[in-house]
């Protein structure tokens, strides 16, 4: 499985809004509601109901406001200053962010196809407005005229970053070239939306006999009622896929599910992807770059595609020996269990990992599922985040939401010396439904502007549960995913308390954005944290310490394989962006990269690239997960493992890494916390870590 994160996050070009066009949106809370609270319908598109025409009217008002803000920028007669130029410019940025986020929310989450269609059209329209702003030479000249030495460091970085993005967008090109760029950007947006829509709408079904369901959890089987012919219908939705790949004893069922999952947007996305890559390559050469990968890394921590290739080779050298050892152990075990077996297929990898962990570590992943019912996990993660980040979460019962299943919380500051002010709002949309995006993601919703607009963020996930009688028992890997996504959410809320809409937590370089989320994953292994919410959904028994030790030992096995898998995705994403896209055979290239980094045998009939949605959002920069794992593990190594939540490191981490948002370069955030650049030492230790299972029973 891929690392879960929002597949269509628009990191194509962070210009100039940090608009994450393909993100999801909501409202804002003002610090002084009597003076600052905007009209609710200025920030919530969905309060107008399910009328596509109302959405279009709402979007047009936001775009009119953006034009008015830009008119203020251009009407300045005297010397340029932060207040008369950068402030109205940032207000325009904010309007585009709010409009784009709301439009994408309805495109991604609305029940009615007509409203999803209108959301898609409005997202494209806002993208066009964003492109127009990125190529507006008069605005660029106005911003460039602000005396940079006269501004504070955070504003200086925001301004310099904005000017860089303008140049990378092609603002200095002639009229004909800028017209071509506009057309290419519009085409890329349309194709990106189409790609994501095909995946979201591409749910497939397979059938299974009662015998083929052997090995699957009882609650999983009970959720799937047999048809008249006694067969069970399974879908490519995540709650159906993951248990099959981990627990189903029948190899043919695993193979059928694997193929269905990896063909759910094939063949329709094959040409969409090719056209998208051709447009990106055309844009890159128009802007003076040999390949799109060079353009995409120009404003990132990585800086260039050449440095990226060197980095991936370093990670390969670090992880390959351990990965080879892991596979040798796995294959030897599988051969013992199934004489005559010569290799393990990609469709069977998850199953054999599960079987090996059961044998080697006496750990059955199903054994912990009863201790992780969804509601208890949500409560536990909120409590963990409260202590770690020094915040409190207050339920908002009357919040305006787009679906009745969404949980809403205000986030209040609980740091020492604070007055408990509201920092922002979060929305948790956590269970699958028709018409909803099918992935696991965290997204900024409303940007934060100090003294004017509180940040809001959301989780969009597809966990089990959410229906009467279904406790939503989660695999431990799903709980890790929840921790991961919540790390994103806290980065956005805590990092968006500054004065610039475009410089919040998600405004950092795109290849740093996964660090806070991957750092929070590591908290999952702590017994104190797990036992605070891990209780049997029927008996109330606390998750035993001995079982936690076995789970930790089992989950540590396979980390090198995980890194090699990330190298597969990262290399593939890079390669489809640094060669002539018209000549690429997506399936052949995928098999070549898989064979390079993975010992598992490819499965004939799957077409992975057609649903690899990270190619839309992260483009060539999927390596973000690998780079940020190096950083995140280095971060986590600074914590006292005996006092993860309450020691002084937690607040230091909040202050140094999260709160600055995009007010300084990401490399400085790393140095501020570590006292040095990131290193591989902690990753090596993490990759080779072996937890010792506890033999004693009980807690």
Q: What's the pLDDT tens digit per position in 58-84? A: 999 999 999 999 999 999 999 999 999
DSSP assignment letter at 543: P
Quick one: average pLDDT of 268-295? Answer: 98
The pLDDT of residue 690: 65
**CB neighbourhood size of 35 (10 A):** 9
Place of tokens 């702590």: 526
Q: Which among 599, 638, 605 is positioned nearest to 343, based on CA atoms?
A: 599
The Cα 27–Cα 25 span in angstroms is 7
Of 45-59, 157-171, 415-429, give the lowest mean pLDDT range: 45-59
Q: What is the CA radius of gyration of the chain?
A: 25
Q: What is the phi/psi pair of residue 143, to 5°? A: -65, -40
Q: Give pTM, 2 decimals.
A: 0.91
Q: State pLDDT tens for residues 591-624.
A: 999 999 999 999 999 999 999 999 998 999 999 9
| Average pLDDT estimate for 407-434 | 94
Q: Is the domain 33-200 a CATH 1.10.1060.10 member? A: no
Predicted local confidence at residue 41, as pLDDT: 64
Q: Could you read off the pLDDT of 481-519 as tens digits, one per residue?
A: 999 999 999 999 999 999 999 999 999 999 999 999 999
As annotated, the residues of the chain forming the CATH 1.20.1050.40 domain(s) are: 33-200
Percent of the chain with pLDDT over 90: 82
Alpha-carbon gap, residue 476 to 369, rounded angstroms: 7
pLDDT level of residue 400 (50, 70, 90 thresholds): confident
- Examine the pLDDT at 560 and tell me if it is beyond 90: yes
Q: How confident is the model at residue 693 (pLDDT cuts 50, 70, 90)?
A: very low
DSSP state, residue 417? T
Averaged pLDDT for residues 520-534? 95
- Give dist(CA 61, CA 74) in Å, integer: 20
Q: What are the strands, taking DSSP E only, across 561-614?
A: none
């Amino acid at each position: 499985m891929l690392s879960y994160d929002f597949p269509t996050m628009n990191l194509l070009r962070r210009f100039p809004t940090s608009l994450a066009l393909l993100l999801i949106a909501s409202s804002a809370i003002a610090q002084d509601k009597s003076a600052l609270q905007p009209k609710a319908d200025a920030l919530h598109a969905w309060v107008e109901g399910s009328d596509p025409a109302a959405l279009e009217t709402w979007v047009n008002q936001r775009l009119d406001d953006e034009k008015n803000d830009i008119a203020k920028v251009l009407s300045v007669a005297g010397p340029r200053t932060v207040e008369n130029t950068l402030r109205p410019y940032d207000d325009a940025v904010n309007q585009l962010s709010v409009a784009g986020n709301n439009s994408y929310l309805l495109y991604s989450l609305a029940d009615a196809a007509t409203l999803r269609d209108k959301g898609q059209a409005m997202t494209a329209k806002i993208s066009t407005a964003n492109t127009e702003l990125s190529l507006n030479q008069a605005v660029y000249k106005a911003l460039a005229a602000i005396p940079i030495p006269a501004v504070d460091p955070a504003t200086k970085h925001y301004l310099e970053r904005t000017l860089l993005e303008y140049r990378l967008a092609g603002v200095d090109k002639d009229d004909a070239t800028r017209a071509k760029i506009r057309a290419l950007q519009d085409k890329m947006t349309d194709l990106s939306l189409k790609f994501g829509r095909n995946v979201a709408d591409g749910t497939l079904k397979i059938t299974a006999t009662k015998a083929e369901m052997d090995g699957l959890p009882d609650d999983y089987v009970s959720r799937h009622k047999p048809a008249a012919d006694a067969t069970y219908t399974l879908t490519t939705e995540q709650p159906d896929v993951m248990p099959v790949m981990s627990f189903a004893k029948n190899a043919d069922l695993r193979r059928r599910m694997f193929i269905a999952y990896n063909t759910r947007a094939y063949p329709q996305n094959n040409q969409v992807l090719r056209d998208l890559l051709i447009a990106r390559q055309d844009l890159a050469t128009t802007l003076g770059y040999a390949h799109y990968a060079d353009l995409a890394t120009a404003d990132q921590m990585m800086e260039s595609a050449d440095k990226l290739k060197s980095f991936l080779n370093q990670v390969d050298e670090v992880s390959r020996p351990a990965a080879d050892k892991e596979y040798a152990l796995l294959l030897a075990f599988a051969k013992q269990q199934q004489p005559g077996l010569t290799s393990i297929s990609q469709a069977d990898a998850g199953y054999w990992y599960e079987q090996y962990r059961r044998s080697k570590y006496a750990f059955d992943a199903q054994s912990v599922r009863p201790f992780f019912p969804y509601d208890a996990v949500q409560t536990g993660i909120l409590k963990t985040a409260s202590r770690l980040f020094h915040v409190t979460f207050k339920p908002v019962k009357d919040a305006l939401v787009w679906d009745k299943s969404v949980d809403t919380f205000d986030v209040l500051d609980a740091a020492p010396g604070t007055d408990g002010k509201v920092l922002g709002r979060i929305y948790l949309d956590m269970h699958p439904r028709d018409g909803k995006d099918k992935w696991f993601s965290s997204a900024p919703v409303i940007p934060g502007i100090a003294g004017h607009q509180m940040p809001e963020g959301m989780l969009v996930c597809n966990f089990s549960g959410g229906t009467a009688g279904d406790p939503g028992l989660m695999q431990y890997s799903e709980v890790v995913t929840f921790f991961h996504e919540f790390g994103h959410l806290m980065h956005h809320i805590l990092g968006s308390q500054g004065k610039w809409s475009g410089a919040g937590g998600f405004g950092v370089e795109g290849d740093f954005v996964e660090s806070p989320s991957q750092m929070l994953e590591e908290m999952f292994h702590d017994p104190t944290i797990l036992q605070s919410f891990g209780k049997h959904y029927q008996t109330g028994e606390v998750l035993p310490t001995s079982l936690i030790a076995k789970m930790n030992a089992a989950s540590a096995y396979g980390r090198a394989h995980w890194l090699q898998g990330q190298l597969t995705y990262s290399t593939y994403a890079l390669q489809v962006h640094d060669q002539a896209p018209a000549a690429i055979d997506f399936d052949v290239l995928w098999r070549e990269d898989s064979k390079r980094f993975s010992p598992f045998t490819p499965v004939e009939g799957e077409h992975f690239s057609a649903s690899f949605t990270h190619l839309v959002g992260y483009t060539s920069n999927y390596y973000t997960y690998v780079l940020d794992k190096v950083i995140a593990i280095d971060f986590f190594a600074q914590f006292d493992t005996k006092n993860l939540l309450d020691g002084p490191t937690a607040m230091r981490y909040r202050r140094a890494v999260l709160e600055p948002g995009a007010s300084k370069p990401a490399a400085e955030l790393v140095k501020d916390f570590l006292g040095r650049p990131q290193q591989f030492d902690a990753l090596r230790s993490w990759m080779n870590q072996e937890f010792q299972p506890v033999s004693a029973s009980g807690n």
